[in-house]
Amino acid sequence: MLELMDTRQGTENQHSYSNGNTLPYTGFPFGMNFFVPQTKHTNGSWFFHPRDRVFQGFRLTHQPSPWMGDFSHLLLTPLSGAFQNADIYHYQSSYRPESAIFQPHYLQITQARYQIKNELVPTTYGAILRSNYRDSNLPGLSLHLPGKGEISLDSNKKQISGYVSNFAGCEDPNFKMYFIMTFNHPIDQEHTGFFQGDNPFTPALSASGEDQHFLIRFLLNQEEPLETRLATSFISSNQAEWNLNQELSPFSFDTLQKQAADAWEYYLNKIEVKNQDFSAVKTFYHCMYRMFLFPQKFYEINQQGEPIHYDTTSKRVKTGVLYTNNGFWDTFRTVYPLYSLLIPDEYEEMLRGFLNSYRETGFLPKWLSPDERGLMPGTLIDAVIADASQKGIARDIIPELFEAMVKTASTVSSKPTYGRQGIEDYDTYGYIPSNHHESVNHTLDYAYSDFCISRVAKELGNKEMEQMFEKRAYNYLNIFHEETGFMRAKDKQGRVEEPFNCFSWGQDYAEGSAWQSSFAVFHDFAGLINAYGGNKPFREKLVQLCNQEPIFETKGYGFEIHEMSEMAAIDFGQVAISNQPSFHLPYLFTYAGDPASSQVLLKQLMTQLFTSSPTGYPGDEDNGSMSGWFIFNSMGFYPVCPGTGEYVIGIPIFDSITIHLPNDKKIEISTKFNQPQFSFVHQVTVNNATYNKLTLEHDLLIKGCTIDFQLGIVPPNKDYAETDLPYSLSTDSAASEYKSNV
């Protein structure tokens, strides 16, 4: 599949509108570094655009999202000829985007100005850049180190080394990334050096300071292209050199290219899809590629073969694994449930890394980049841990992770970036009062996290903690406003603000209005339906959610944020599938016994809003979360409530799917009558037996099975028993006795 892929999916973006807000990363799966062609440095986080015809250099980047920013980035630009200053604008060259190759394992760009053909292949800790120069006039490389930087050259070894220090946020104000580069041609010392401010070019073998632009020139043998081997480390210069010697030095360009291709094929081949419409297949595999980029490894292997990492909190090197660039508010919904099916070993290692984050900070992480940034509501790593616990992943560390969940849920942090915000008020009132920002989302996320904690407690046989957190899981009812049918913010006296505008974004709600935020009761939709007065009024609310104009009011922000614009653009009512809070909304009809309405909505969302093009997503992709949404739903099932071990059945859009499980078993899914006009599931057969339930259990899937969908043009006339419906806490007989105490 690699030869069909173009990593520019979802990369046509600007600050005010997102078609994915992705970057065309070339790197190893979960690699420590990624590489992106930079097209416009003055655009800040939007430094690449697929329609720009300018190439400024290869950017080594760790940017997980434009809203998070980059850290430890540098720019490497092949060039030739003389220059008068260090301005990137004066170095840039045009290139032909339609002729360039953007693949997960390989980049190829020819600079029209210099007629240099560049090819880049990544490794986990670095890359090899092969540059074929036609012009022999001062051939070289520009190395731009934004922020603080230092560089030194060893002409005998044909290498340079140094560090760069730049970040959008970090616990360590002196956080550095060390780098080393070696070359296969001698360095031209006479013409190597740097520009300092407005001063003329200074020949030099070293430089340090702010915003360094260093020019390295070479004595090229025209018969052999320049090969630059680059490795980095967050540990030390010596570790960077070790990474270079282990990963890059022993291997040819072609060997490294094959290694990178094999690494990607290993992950991409875990699911095989076939379809008459091949464009949907391309979209699927582009989404698969996005699934295996984040979180990134933040650890390295030392000379003793042990994993080590830099702890930015204590500012010391520690043993063990660590991962970064992950926001759990986004990724708990789809990324980790998919990992539980496809790559449980990697999932386990990530959990060990997150546990190390807890050991070093005292709190479970919420948004790592490179360390805790403390963004978005809730502590939704709880769902990642609970889902792993339910599925038998990382059993040996679940007890300590459980302790971490409880501590993070109950400890007031001296820093607002760590732990739960407003936890003392939550304990006092059973909800987060309206004097806290985004109080509705915090309350709902805490109630769901409490459910997740209770599930892990149950797995560990801790009855007391199970019951205590199960009671707290009903706290969502404390902010349900029966008259309007929305979750409403309350002050400490229990009063809601009037007048109320259900279209008003922000303030009490995170990146949405009451419409997008009032249904985040993943663990107890039966309880929410009961609060509405039954299936009929609940379904009427859902119909109203979908069948209205996508209007919004900017009150909480004071201006139009891009999520508002994206919801208004897609014409699916208030179902803002462009953002994570709406991911599960199509499935709410199923919880009300009306799966047909879920199915037709899901099919329209998948087929109309996702492509493999630069405008391929309806909103921010966010570290695999939106890709995971498409992957799950296109296969016909979705993890609405991580932590329960079940997937709710939707509607597939492929003729056949084979999921290769890590235990050498297979899930084989087939779809009969897979045509555009067939928008409903007429019948499901599992292992050749008629299947009436509306969910699939993880235990069933992981053993391998066959699932056959027969689609229909009109919805089937079916009634569903309570036992056929997805899990809800209120209908769990073991839990119901505690509900009355809320």
pLDDT tens, position by position, 239-262: 999 999 999 999 999 999 999 999
Q: How far apart are CA 695 and CA 679, in angstroms?
A: 19
Burial class (CB in 10 A: 0-12, 13-18, 19+), 254: exposed
Residue 154 tokens read as 């060893």
pLDDT tens, position by position, 433-475: 999 999 999 999 999 999 999 999 999 999 999 999 999 999 9
pLDDT tens, position by position, 552-582: 999 999 999 999 999 999 999 999 999 999 9
Burial class (CB in 10 A: 0-12, 13-18, 19+), 637: buried
Q: Check if the beta carbon of residue 407 is closer than 8 Å to that of residue 660.
A: no
Residues 6+ apart with CB under 8 A from 180: 159, 160, 161, 230, 231, 232, 237, 240, 241, 244
The Cβ-side half-sphere exposure at 442, using a 13 Å CA radius, reads 26
Residue 463 lies in a domain: no
Q: How many domains would you assign to the chain? A: 1
pLDDT higher than 80, residue 595? yes
Residue 615 lies in a domain: no
**pLDDT reported for residue 195:** 86
Query: Directed axis angle between helix 335-342 and helix 625-635, to 10°?
Result: 60
Q: How far apart are CA 73 and CA 61, in angstroms?
A: 5
Pairing of strands 367-368, 326-327: antiparallel
pLDDT tens, position by position, 664-674: 999 999 999 99
pLDDT higher than 90, residue 161? yes
Residue 513 lies in a domain: no
Burial class (CB in 10 A: 0-12, 13-18, 19+), 435: exposed
Q: Which helix (H) or strand (E) holds 159?
A: strand 159-165
Average pLDDT across the chain, whole number: 96
Residue 158 lies in a domain: yes
For residue 138, give the nearest of 247, 213, 215 by alpha carbon. 215
pLDDT higher than 60, residue 733? no
**pLDDT reported for residue 742:** 42
The stretch 67-74 carries a mean pLDDT of 97
**Which CATH number do you get for residue 198?**
2.70.98.10
**pLDDT reported for residue 735:** 53
Could you give phi then psi for residue 531, rounded to 5 degrees?
Answer: -65, -30
- At 740, the pLDDT band (50, 70, 90 cuts) reads very low
Q: Check if the beta carbon of residue 575 is closer than 8 Å to that of residue 600.
A: no
Could you give phi then psi for residue 571, rounded to 5 degrees?
Answer: 60, 50
**pLDDT reported for residue 196:** 74
For residue 32, give the nearest of 270, 374, 290, 309 by alpha carbon. 309
**pLDDT reported for residue 85:** 86
pLDDT higher than 70, residue 292? yes
pLDDT tens, position by position, 95-147: 999 999 999 999 999 999 999 999 999 999 999 999 999 988 999 999 999 99
Q: Check if the beta carbon of residue 404 is closer than 8 Å to that of residue 367.
A: no
- At 738, the pLDDT band (50, 70, 90 cuts) reads very low
Task: Return the ∠ at Cα 706 (arms to 661 and 525), rounded to 5°.
Answer: 85
Q: How far apart are CA 481 and CA 219, in angstroms?
A: 75
The Cβ-side half-sphere exposure at 299, using a 13 Å CA radius, reads 21
pLDDT tens, position by position, 328-370: 999 999 999 999 999 999 999 999 999 999 999 999 999 999 9
Residue 566 tokens read as 């994206």
Q: How far apart are CA 20 and CA 618, in angstroms?
A: 7
Residue 85 tokens read as 């200053």
Query: Directed axis angle between helix 535-546 and helix 595-609, to 10°?
Result: 20
Residue 47 lies in a domain: yes
Residue 625 lies in a domain: no
Residues 6+ apart with CB under 8 A from 359: none
pLDDT tens, position by position, 179-195: 999 999 999 999 999 98
Residue 411 lies in a domain: no
Query: Directed axis angle between helix 398-410 and helix 381-390, to 10°?
Result: 150
The stretch 164-179 carries a mean pLDDT of 97
Q: Which helix (H) or strand (E) holds 107?
A: strand 106-111
Residue 623 tokens read as 């570290």
* 151 conformational bin, left if phi > 0, alpha if psi -120 to 50, beta if neither: beta
Q: How far apart are CA 518 and CA 440, in angstroms?
A: 8
The stretch 685-698 carries a mean pLDDT of 98
What is the span of the domain harbouring residue 102?
27-266
Pairing of strands 296-297, 323-324: antiparallel
Residues 6+ apart with CB under 8 A from 170: 71, 312, 370, 371
Alpha-carbon dihedral angle through residues 686, 690, 696, 701, given to the nearest 10 degrees: -20
Strand segments (E) across 485-623: 486-487
Query: For a pLDDT cut of 90, what percent of the chain falls above it?
Result: 95
Q: How far apart are CA 457 and CA 460, in angstroms?
A: 5
Q: Which helix (H) or strand (E) holds 681?
A: strand 680-686
The stretch 61-67 carries a mean pLDDT of 98
Q: How far apart are CA 511 and CA 438, in angstroms?
A: 9
For residue 78, give the nearest of 97, 95, 57 by alpha carbon. 57
- Neighbour tally for 76: CB within 10 Å: 24
Whether the predicted model's global pTM rises above the 0.85 cut: yes
Percentages helix, strand, coil for the chain, rounded to the nearest 5?
35, 25, 45
Residue 35 lies in a domain: yes
The stretch 590-599 carries a mean pLDDT of 98
Q: Is the dihedral of CA 152, 157, 159, 162 positive or negative?
A: negative
Q: How far apart are the first and last CA of the chain?
A: 53
Instruction: Show the DSSP H helices in 533-656 as ranges.
Output: 535-546, 562-570, 588-591, 595-609, 625-635
Q: Which residues are registered as beta bridge partners of 76?
A: 58, 143
Omega of the bond prior to 618 within 30 degrees of 0, cis? no
pLDDT tens, position by position, 499-557: 999 999 999 999 999 999 999 999 999 999 999 999 999 999 999 999 999 999 999 99
pLDDT higher than 60, residue 741? no
